[in-house]
Amino acid sequence: MELKRVVVTGLGAITPIGNTIDEYWNSLINGVSGAAMITLFDASKFKTKFGCEVKGFDPTDFLEKKEARKIDRFTQIALVASDQAVKDAGIEKDNVNTDRVGVVFASGIGGISTFQEEVINFAKGDGTPRFNPFFIPKMILDIAAGQISMRHGFRGPNFAVVSACASSTNAMMESFNLLRLGLADVILTGGAESVIIEAGVGGFNAMKALSERNDDPQTASRPYDKDRDGFVIGEGAGLIVLEELEHAKARGANIYCELIGCGATADAHHITAPHPEGLGAKNVMTAALTDARMKPEDIDYINTHGTSTPLGDVAEVKAIVDVFGEHAYKLNISSTKSMTGHCLGAAGVIEAIACIKSVVHDIVPPTINHFTDDPELDPRLNFTFQKAQQRTVRAALSNTFGFGGHNACVIVKKFK
């Protein structure tokens, strides 16, 4: 069976550095930090008092007030990103078969703010079980996929994927496979996350996962810097319209690039820490290259997982050098989490969008907030520190790794 080709025809994003694709991309290439003191709740007693929040977002600008109250914030931003992507792709009910348009959408945690609110309300009461009838439908992490399909009338494959911080990359992978097997014509895929609440920040603080650089939040996300002290928690949503090539051509769609390969592996090592030699990361990049039928020399840019954690950054860099050999020193590498923070289950798609735009515009976004070289990292590598770099980007690879040892990777290339 000959596999079908899959292309990208639409994009949408709500991020800490921009609430449209253009705003997001312009912020990326200009090195804008999205970190600031938390406003979504009173974080004064928490070890970490800052994060990368989505700014200036009012769901009632896009949704009816009654509708907005029935859905969690992660679903609100997912729906708005879907509106952007559907419009960008030029999808209308008369140019697609809605029975063959699917939604595969991810979240690492889902409606945790709804869960927290309902449990607190119950605990404050007299023990009588009084819960909001929308409690469960707001909380479950598959509901964003369902809401997107209902909003746009898409009746194709519809489900959610969860693999912690690798979730939305795994969602793209599942969508890619459905399309190249001919099981759908179009799939909206991506992820959303919104966990900047007491339970989210407090939970990650307890794990000692978050940066505590409260005196300088804008520079706290420091991938590959010697003094990095943890990731900066972020929120956001990204959505990519994937489409079978001949279907896209038949309806005259604008094609950004081609999704050419993907991979998924496990570290089988530790619940939160990466394999110290980057074994899972090495295997997932190798798997994606094999799937794409590409050589290491075909890749020009890697958007790394690069969370700004002491162990994670070192392990991933080791894996890159192992996989790419001498070509590693000709690559551009960058971590856009230095600007967006770590958007958890939405990180993969938000970073894949950066790769797509990089392939389209031949610009590599930077890794900002670099002050001190880390002696554990190979100084010959080009981490694209501080400023975006122009270069031909024939193909870009995006890495995402999640708690539990989940690794996922996708490769996009220029469309010909």
pLDDT digits (tens, 9 = 90+) for 239-288: 999 999 999 999 999 999 999 999 999 999 999 899 989 999 999 999 99
SS3 109: coil
Task: Label residues 230-252 b or e (16+ Cβ within 10 Å = b).
Answer: bbbbbbbbbbbbbbbbebbeebe
SS3 4: coil
Residues 172, 412: contact at Cβ < 8 Å?
no
pLDDT of residue 1: 76
**Residue 230 sits in the same domain as residue 278:** no
**Residue 98 sits in the same domain as residue 238:** yes
Residues 324, 397: contact at Cβ < 8 Å?
no
For the domain that residue 266 is a member of, what is the CATH number?
Answer: 3.40.47.10
Report the catalytic residues. 165, 305, 342
CA distance 152 to 20: 19
Give the residue from 250, 281, 306 where a domain finishes: 250
Give the residue from 250, 285, 316 where a domain finishes: 250
**Residue 242 sits in the same domain as residue 299:** no
The total of structural domains in the chain comes to: 2
pLDDT of residue 4: 98
**Residue 265 sits in the same domain as residue 245:** no
pLDDT beneath 50, residues of the chain: none
Residue type at 313? D
| Residue 255 domain-assigned (yes or no) | no
| Residue 242 domain-assigned (yes or no) | yes
**Residue 147 sits in the same domain as residue 267:** no
Show the tokens assigned to 11: 């994009």
Angle between helices 112-124 and 198-206 (to 10 degrees): 100
| Residue 2 domain-assigned (yes or no) | no
**Residue 394 sits in the same domain as residue 330:** yes
| Residue 90 domain-assigned (yes or no) | yes
**Residue 239 sits in the same domain as residue 273:** no
Strands (E), 214-339: 236-244, 257-266, 301-303, 332-334
Give the residue from 227, 250, 273 where a domain finishes: 250
pTM (2 d.p.): 0.97
| Residue 381 domain-assigned (yes or no) | yes
**Residue 222 sits in the same domain as residue 298:** no
pLDDT of residue 131: 95
**Residue 407 sits in the same domain as residue 387:** yes
Angle between helices 73-89 and 143-152 (to 10 degrees): 40
Residues 406, 269: contact at Cβ < 8 Å?
no
Range of the domain at 288: 261-413
**Residue 195 sits in the same domain as residue 304:** no
Q: Please list the residues that pair with 301 across neighbouring strands.
A: 332, 396
| Residue 1 domain-assigned (yes or no) | no
Sign of CA dihedral 253, 254, 257, 262: negative
